[in-house]
Structure 1
Amino acid sequence: MNLTDIEFPIRKEMNDFKLKLKSSISSDNSIIDTVVNYILKRKGKQLRPILVFLSSGLNGKISESTYRAAILIEILHTATLIHDDVVDDSNYRRGFFSINALWKSKYSVLVGDYLLSRGLELSVENNDFKFLGVLSNAVKKMSEGEITQLKKSKSLDIDEKTYFKIIQEKTASLFSSCCVMGAISSNSNKKNISLMKEFGLLLGQAFQIRDDMFGYLSYDTGKPSLNDFKQAKITLPLIYSLSKVNKTKKSEIIKYLKNYKSIDKIIDFVKEQGGIDYSQHLMNNLTEKAHSILEKFPKSDYKKSLVNLLNYTISRNI
């Protein structure tokens, strides 16, 4: 299963969306426009707008409001990625040079700010105050999650409970917002909007766990797995593995973590302790719960694609 198949029911909508997105974030400022065009040419998988359109179709009819929801989500997501690269001092994004690497942190922060302000402007222009409420909450949670991760990474003190709190805020909150805004755009009822909120939270957590596993499976995913080690980001496979050993061994591994040249030893340790298998198990549990939510909706091509998107999330290699 690939994204082309998943996009099938919304292929026209996604093509139209890309044109509308470009128009929405263009600027008369030459530097901003250059950076924006660089971003658009390396747009990634665009899972989040796909999720908005599929959620809208699942709950009713895709409308102009759905396009605006997808654009707002993508603008917000792009802005946060730019800011993340500044925070992490990352030179690569999706296998290409990051904005931070090419234009340095000052321009990166300001372009991220431009995108955030453009999203707010679009919301106000179209009276999309429900969207604005959902997005504001997502930004708050994402910021809180990032700050918690930064704080905990310094002390390398993250247990499983804290880990899930971080990924619910940093990653799953935006996935959930995609599903909620898609449902709102099709005038769905409160019950179904609540179901979509929970579905997005489950999908987002499964997505992040799969990302965590990449660093222990391959260096060639295009993901910043090596940078995660450099930043001492403790992932679920490592959290579980550290919980299985005594203090002496734990101290040894943490020492390796602080010296990213010893990455191979960390990877071998995680594999030996069953960290990858454990993460796979939790990811599958989250996916099963998400499947059970989709079963509450009638059959449709949108539902089929959301099921396939779940399967893609836990099996993807990038």
Structure 2
Amino acid sequence: MDLLSLIKHPIESDLSDFIKLFDQSLMHTDGLLSQALEHIRKRAGKRMRPMLILLMARNFGQTSSVTQNAAVGLELLHTASLVHDDVVDESGERRGQASVNAVYNNKVAVLVGDYLLSTALLHVAYTDNNRIVKYLSELGRTLAQGEILQLSNIQNLDISEDIYYRVIRQKTAALFEACCVIGALSAGAGDEEIEAAGRFGQNLGVMFQIRDDIFDYYDSREIGKPTGNDMAEGKLTLPVIYALNSGGNDALRALAYKVKQRTVNPEEIAVLVEFTKEHGGIEYAEKKMGEFHTLCLDFIGKYVKYDVIRQSLNAYIDYVVKRSM
């Protein structure tokens, strides 16, 4: 059985129910809105975040309509943030498929993102759980803060791991943390369990983002992310930050500042990519992933009681580390 099948094994019927509810949330009779929502529905990913919510609910109790509506709310909130991010980043692709702003235009994309956000809030309201409503409302603020921090970091001449982690903790890690917290909340977990689940989610999310950043140093049309795409968007990620801080010279740091100012050209990006590989940036990032992997295993050892859920969550963190896209 492959890793994804192991992850899904204890929640197959729950996941099927989620997909039906999520797809229903993206149905509309209006022509243009209907087309845009259909475009989003067709580019559905592997459902990694909803699966985490369902697994966490199963670990601490049972899934319910509260779990399902919270999962749909979070996935819609996440989807809205991606639609808006593509506008901000002027991105024409996401995971090898055309973005909403590329198929239509920025105005349509922003409005569709707003529609998704409102629909997310509607499903969260269906939970009738104030703690879940509050948590997901805070998540929306955190994601926006992360984007603004990332944009403001362009003007910051400091190239540091601290800023890198602050950004990803408010973006990717915050989403995974929310998945674990609301899954646990929906199943009636205790405060200690909810707090531990949140830490697990955050560690998992940081690990997920580091793996995603490593992809940027290898060309792959499968993921719709050519080599150096993050740098082309003004982002310095963990591998190049480490390489610059451990062995970079003034000329290379000047190129890094050009990345932040978005004035760098493809040839200069190629120089930074090669420098990063030659100076241990990839190995360092993989080592950091290993540290977060260990923290995730600690949670599983202490808070996961059932063998089938333990096997699924172990497969989940293995998949995050080993995935190729």
Pairwise TM-score range, normalised by the shorter structure: over 0.9
> Which residue, 300, 303, 306 being the options, matches 2:307?
300
Quote the offset at 1:294 in angstroms.
1.0
More divergent stretch after superposition (260-269 vs 39-48): 260-269
Q: Percent identity?
A: 35
Partners of 1:152 and 1:158 within 8 A in 2: no
Cα gap change, 1:255 to 1:193, in 2 (>3 Å):
closer
C-alpha distance in structure 1 between counterparts of 2:243 and 2:108, whole Å? 40
1:166-194 superposed Cα distances (whole Å, 9 cap, x missing partner) = 10001101100000111111111111111
Quote the offset at 1:217 in angstroms.
2.8
Quote the offset at 1:292 in angstroms.
0.3
1:243-276 superposed Cα distances (whole Å, 9 cap, x missing partner) = 0135424335426742233332222100111000
Quote the offset at 1:65 in angstroms.
1.2
C-alpha distance in structure 1 between counterparts of 2:248 and 2:236, whole Å? 18
Q: Structure 1 stretches (4+) deviating beyond 4 angstroms?
A: none
Give the structure 2 partner of residue 220 of structure 1: 221
Q: Secondary structure at the match of 1:216?
A: coil
C-alpha distance in structure 1 between counterparts of 2:254 and 2:144, whole Å? 31
Give the structure 2 partner of residue 244 of structure 1: 246
Give the structure 2 partner of residue 203 of structure 1: 204
More divergent stretch after superposition (242-251 vs 85-94): 242-251
Give the structure 1 partner of residue 191 of structure 2: 190
Q: Secondary structure at the match of 1:44?
A: coil
C-alpha distance in structure 1 between counterparts of 2:205 and 2:126, whole Å? 30
More divergent stretch after superposition (86-95 vs 222-231): 222-231
**Aligned residues: CA RMSD:** 1.7
Superposed counterparts of 1:243-262, under 5 Å: 243-254=245-256, 257=259, 258-262=264-268
Quote the offset at 1:310 in angstroms.
0.4
**What is the total number of aligned residue pairs between the two structures?**
318
C-alpha distance in structure 2 between counterparts of 1:216 and 1:126, whole Å? 42
Give the structure 2 partner of residue 83 of structure 1: 84
Q: Secondary structure at the match of 1:52?
A: helix
Quote the offset at 1:300 in angstroms.
2.7
Superposed counterparts of 1:119-134, under 5 Å: 119-134=120-135
Give the structure 2 partner of residue 152 of structure 1: 153
Superposed counterparts of 1:13-52, under 5 Å: 13-52=14-53
> Which residue, 222, 247, 272 being the options, matches 1:266?
272
| TM-score, with length taken from structure 2 | 0.93
Cα gap change, 1:317 to 1:74, in 2 (>3 Å):
same
Alignment of 1:10 with 2:11, yes or no, is yes
